[in-house]
Amino acid sequence: MKEIINFITSNYYIIIAIYLIVFVLLIILFYKFKHSYIGTFSEANIFRKLKKIYKKYDYPYIKEIILPINKESYAYYDAIVFGDKFIYLIEIKNHHGDILIDPLDDWVYVESSNKQHPFINPFYELELKKHIINRFLEININRIIEIVVYNTKTKPQGSKGKNHLIAANQLNSIIKHYESRENIPKFSPDLIEDKGNYLLEINIKKKKIRRKVINDLRNQRTKR
């Protein structure tokens, strides 16, 4: 014990320097990956809110599904909700701060430090994903609705156009609006079951591929 005390006393400044270096490295790592961690936490909160809505209407849904585009490319879907009359593609955005949308539909995420990060309009991505998924669903593409859901820490500003950019607690009203349309026939329950099971069947299950696709998404978010 005496030797340990002597060692600490004689190397006091070296030990303090090591602690400071470790502390600084931890801070750097935190700021580098904070969007990924915050995003994951927020996404879990949003999923909990959405789950209550799904249960209320007894709509089947699939979350975190990865579909093949070709042998080397994949499309990731946060959630797919099967309504009675429409199918909803849900994209979740986890930013904590302002999202500026200009009239040309360019999107910019603004951090609390006012640092700006341009990123692709998620509705462009959803439009592409809609066509990809309809290769497997094979339904009237107008009955696939794209919705972007943001968390309560996000403040969208600017032109939203006709797109569905909503908070999680607004999803209920959007689904209710579409499902109440009287001129749209309901899907056959068998059709919904078959389509849902087919998507689950072709969903990429290999852990290596899933890990790569999800890591690529997290890296994109971290760079913003």
CA distance 131 to 138: 10
Burial of 55 (0-12, 13-18, 19+ CB in 10 A): exposed
Query: For residue 52, what is the enclosing H or E element?
Result: helix 12-57
Per-residue pLDDT at 222: 45
CA distance 59 to 42: 23
What tokens appear for 28 in the block? 């750097």
Give the chain's domain count.
1
Which neighbouring-strand residues pair with 158?
101
Tens digit of pLDDT for each residue in 166-220? Answer: 877 788 888 889 999 999 999 998 998 899 999 999 888 888 888 888 777 666 6
Residues 195, 82: contact at Cβ < 8 Å?
Answer: yes
Q: Say which DSSP state 154 is in.
A: E
Q: Report helix, strand or coil for 222.
A: helix
The pTM of this model reads 0.72
pLDDT, tens digit only, all 224 positions of the chain: 555 555 556 665 666 767 777 766 766 554 444 443 334 445 566 666 666 665 665 678 888 889 988 878 899 998 898 999 999 999 887 766 677 776 666 777 676 667 777 777 888 889 999 999 999 999 999 999 999 887 666 677 765 555 688 877 788 888 889 999 999 999 998 998 899 999 999 888 888 888 888 777 666 654 44
Helical pair 207-223 and 12-57, crossing angle rounded to 10 deg: 110
Task: Quote the domain boundaries for residue 44.
Answer: 2-223
Query: For residue 189, what is the enclosing H or E element?
Result: helix 189-202
Closest CA to 88 of 34, 149, 162: 149
